[in-house]
Amino acid sequence: MRAVPQGRGLMGRGEAESSSNSRSLRVLPIRTEIPAAADTPAVCEFYQFDETEIPAAADVSLPLPRPFDSTACALQHLAQQQQLLLALQQLQPAAAAASRSLLQDPALAALHEATHSGLVAEEVSRHIEFGRQAKITVELQLLNKGAAAAASVFILLPYSEATQLGWMKASAANGKQLKVLPVSRLLPSISSLIWEDWGQRQLLLQKEELLLAAAAAGSSSNFKSPCWPSVFQIQLERPLQQTESVKLTVSYILGRPYRPLPQAVELEAIQSVIFATSLNWPLPYKALRSSLSFQLPPQTSLGEAGERRMQQKSFQKLSEGLWKWASAAAVEPLAAVEPFAVVFPLPQHLGFLFAAERLLLLPLSGAAVSEDFYKFHNDAALQQGPFNPVSVALLQGLAPGTPRLALQNKEVPRAPPVPSHVLFDLHASLPPDVFNLDVADSAGNLTTAFAAREGPEEAPLSTRLEVTTAAVWPRFPVLGGWNFDLRVRYNQPVSSLLLQQEAGSSSSSVSLKIPLEPIFSDIYAEQLSLTVALPTGATNIRCSSPVEFDSVEEKRIKWWFDIVTSRPALSLKWHSISASPSPHEERSLTVTFDYPYPVDLEHFKKLLLLLLLLAVLVIGTLLSRWKLRFTTPEEDAAAAALQSAFEKVRKELGRVAEAAIKDTGSYLNCAAAAAAESGQSSSKQKKPQEQEMQQWSKCMQQHENDVAALLQTAPEANSSIAAFQEALEDYRNTVQAFAAGLLNNAKDKKTEKAEQDVKAAADQLRAAARCSTKLHKA
């Protein structure tokens, strides 16, 4: 892999002559190591900020990028907060009522208390470690110059950092964890920055830094969003007496700290990202000495031009990728000194969880069911140029044409993957006792997902979730700006979540510990919700957690076997969370409830379901055997009378049919005898034949009259009687045709066919009499 000039920098007005200096790194499949990206930020002065991708109307369903506007808005409100505190100090005693009304805001009251406490920050040292997320560590040495002891200290985070705060902790010099309490009830969300305040200008990097400086000085009035800082209270181990000092360490993680620059690059190129902050860490106390250091990702650098920029800002290069700034000048409370931006290459995907939802069903015994839904978004640079499947395969270390499902097969030759901003897979850590793992997606036939379980039995289970996007071969990766959904379902023994169970005289108390950490390591989550369904019959539900929830609601839901019952459930929502750096610092939710029943009601639910199924089966069998009908006595009498009439019709039609067939048989026998003696026939011999024919005709006419009379007595059977009449008429015509052929001495195939037609017409006549009864019963 080597750097190739591409001329891809975006120029501002009047900067077209600098286009030949624009460069980006391009990944070529020659070597797999990452070079020192010396030329990437060499032209950062000429990079132009792209037009924001926020639409003309607000759409909170889309992931919002983090341009400089959120940082500038935060610095402006921080300056306004500083001016307000100075104004409160200068108020005369006569305006005490006005100051008390202003100090009703908890955050402002805490800052006012901090500025009057007499605490001084002798040294503030901040270190930023850049990766997929930014990990910030601040070391404070505070001296109490006030007249009273201080039991706690206050710190603040600007709006741009508080909206993406994934994890935070504070510790003393001896390593003991200190309690950190938010003064404001809820942390702000990035959606609170209204869409009108997202940048609509195209500015160069230097001009954007001037905008940040103007906002930090309080001279910018372009923002209308409430970008106030978030204040936190750290409780000390013991009160800090006068003239005593204490050392504190504050660590926190920022989930989405970057914006790609430029906005779109080719698939093989290494993206650059931009990060904005101030040289000092704003505090509500006066800082005597301040320092800032940052560590770039491994095997990356700022380049020659980027290093010159940082040196101009008084930064010193301590080692490869490590830069530091220090100043002995005192910094006033809430002041932000020289905001700046740093641009560096980051060959990593910027995937984060835009939304994470979990439904957890907890029985008293057996297995707990967890159904998770995740919506990912890749904040990395967008796709520029045509899509190249060969490059995608080489980035994964696969030979072109190798299916991605072959990653599960260790026998398939594979080179080390090339670092890229494209998201190919995710890694999830699940407990070792997880079973029935199922991974799916909700993108129809455009996306496929599969999971592979890794790790020894004695170690925590490591589950690797491979996420690919597929339309045609080969499958597509998750590029910058793409979203994808993922559903993960698994079971876990509820005993592994059981924290405590105490049996009492009337009820038992059960405590469960539910982890709140994301299952994906190094992945930031923006919006989260958890629904915990407790066993049926649970009462007196309590919950506690170090996480500040946006809302906690108790409701009832239904699940399998909940036929006539429901389950109590807790619905919790919060935002901004990242995985804890170490397992012993993982955050969890403790749910305690009382269960008044001696046994689990879930067993009775299953028994009740079996009884209901058995009852339905028995009732269905009885109804089909007894043919029960739910009617009134009047309806039963009317139905019985109608059935009796239909039975009489059936018998009468059957009698008429058999009589007609019998009469026809006598007539046809006479016609056959006359045909056999046709050679000796005379006028005297034909006279009996004619008499037999007239007699048969009278009989058939009488049968038709009987059927017509039957129609008058039973009008309900008009359709079946009409069908019988048609069959009787067809039978009569067929017999006449056959008899005429016999009298004409015709012994050919036509006569034989006519005889068969007579037999078929007789069968149809009998069938018409029988079918009428079936129709009546229906």
pLDDT in tens, 681-692: 445 555 666 777
In a domain, 446, yes or no: yes
Q: How far is CA 350 from CA 10, 277, 378, 488, 660, in A?
A: 22, 19, 5, 21, 94
CATH number at residue 285: 2.60.40.1730
Same-domain check for residues 269 and 395: no
Residue of 227, 206, 282 lying closest to 69 (CA atoms): 227
Same-domain check for residues 274 and 230: yes
At residue 488, what are phi and psi to the nearest 5 degrees? -125, 125
Arithmetic mean of pLDDT, 258-281: 87
Same-domain check for residues 239 and 315: yes
* Spatial distance between the Cα atoms of 577 and 518, rounded to a whole number of angstroms: 8
Indicate whether 34 pLDDT > 60.
no
Q: What angle do CA 400, 403, 405 make, to 5 degrees?
A: 145
Indicate whether 59 pLDDT > 70.
no
Q: How far is CA 385 from CA 19, 229, 268, 378, 388, in A?
A: 18, 41, 10, 18, 9
Same-domain check for residues 337 and 356: no
In a domain, 250, yes or no: yes
> What b/e string do you get for 603-620 counting C-beta neighbours within 10 Å, with b at 16 or more?
eebeeeeeeeeeeeeeee
Same-domain check for residues 583 and 721: no
* Spatial distance between the Cα atoms of 395 and 422, rounded to a whole number of angstroms: 9
How confident is the model over 150-199, as pLDDT tens digits? 999 999 999 999 999 999 999 999 989 999 998 987 788 877 887 777 76
| 597, 622, 657 - which closes a domain | 597
- Higher-confidence residue: 130 or 385? 130
In a domain, 212, yes or no: yes
Same-domain check for residues 268 and 376: no
Q: Please, are residues 105 and 81 in contact by the beta-carbon 8 Å criterion?
A: no
CATH number at residue 454: 2.60.40
Number of structural domains (the chain) is: 3
In a domain, 695, yes or no: yes
pLDDT-above-90 percentage for the chain:
21
* Spatial distance between the Cα atoms of 42 and 308, rounded to a whole number of angstroms: 9
* Spatial distance between the Cα atoms of 481 and 377, rounded to a whole number of angstroms: 7
Same-domain check for residues 334 and 404: no
How confident is the model over 191-245, as pLDDT tens digits? 788 777 776 555 567 777 888 888 888 887 678 888 899 999 999 999 999 889 9
Same-domain check for residues 133 and 101: yes
In a domain, 28, yes or no: no
How confident is the model over 599-617, as pLDDT tens digits? 777 777 777 778 888 999 9
How confident is the model over 346-357, as pLDDT tens digits? 999 998 988 899
Strand order, beta sheet including 150-157? 150-157, 230-240, 180-182
In a domain, 164, yes or no: yes
Same-domain check for residues 112 and 245: yes
Q: How far apart are the first and last CA of the chain?
A: 83
Same-domain check for residues 461 and 482: yes
Complete DSSP assignment for 350-402: -EEEEEEEEEEE--SSSEEEEEEEEEEEE-SPEE-S---HHHHHHHTT--TT-
| 302, 329, 348 - which closes a domain | 348
CATH number at residue 682: 1.20.120
In a domain, 572, yes or no: yes
| 317, 348, 379 - which closes a domain | 348
What is the pLDDT, as a whole number, of residue 753?
Answer: 81
In a domain, 410, yes or no: yes
The whole domain housing 709 covers: 633-777
Same-domain check for residues 591 and 481: yes
Burial of 162 (0-12, 13-18, 19+ CB in 10 A): buried
Read off the pTM.
0.70
Same-domain check for residues 232 and 297: yes
